């Protein structure tokens, strides 16, 4: 397993994500939550886009997200495998309530 990062939601719950470089990944066909992020300082992360998906393979990233991701200089993708649909949606909502993300509409 690679490096991890803890992201805190508005509920104070922490979620552990695996950190991946933005390029050169092969995504598996599994569900989960993800955060496009940039490293603003060593080991300090800024969320640019927070989302959830039924399949990382089909989701990473969608063409309509690319301009905003590039404009905001995303350096990494953080992923959290999450098999439960309701839990994924709750996690996404909790994180969005605690982080200002320039690429979420």
How far apart CA 73 and CA 83 sit, in angstroms, is: 29
How far apart CA 90 and CA 80 sit, in angstroms, is: 13
pLDDT in tens, 48-67: 999 999 998 876 666 677 78
Domain range summary for the chain, segments of one domain joined by +: 4-84
**Residue 82: pLDDT over 60:** yes
What would the DSSP string read from start to end of 46-88?
A: EEEEEEEES-HHHHSSPTTTHHHHHHTT--EEEEEE---HHHH
| pTM of the predicted protein model | 0.91
Share of the chain above pLDDT 70, in %: 92
Assigned CATH topology for domain 4-84? GIY-YIG endonuclease (3.40.1440)
φ/ψ of 13, rounded to 5, equals -70, 140
């Amino acid at each position: 397993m690679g490096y991890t990062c803890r992201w805190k939601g508005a509920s104070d719950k922490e979620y552990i994500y695996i950190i991946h470089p933005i390029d050169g990944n092969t995504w598996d066909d599994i569900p989960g939550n993800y955060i496009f992020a940039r490293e603003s300082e060593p080991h300090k992360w800024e969320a640019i886009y927070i989302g959830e998906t039924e399949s990382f393979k089909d989701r990473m990233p969608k063409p309509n997200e690319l301009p905003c991701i590039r404009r905001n200089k995303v350096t990494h993708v953080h992923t959290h495998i999450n098999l439960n649909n309701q839990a994924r949606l709750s996690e996404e909502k909790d994180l969005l309530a605690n982080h200002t993300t320039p690429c979420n509409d």
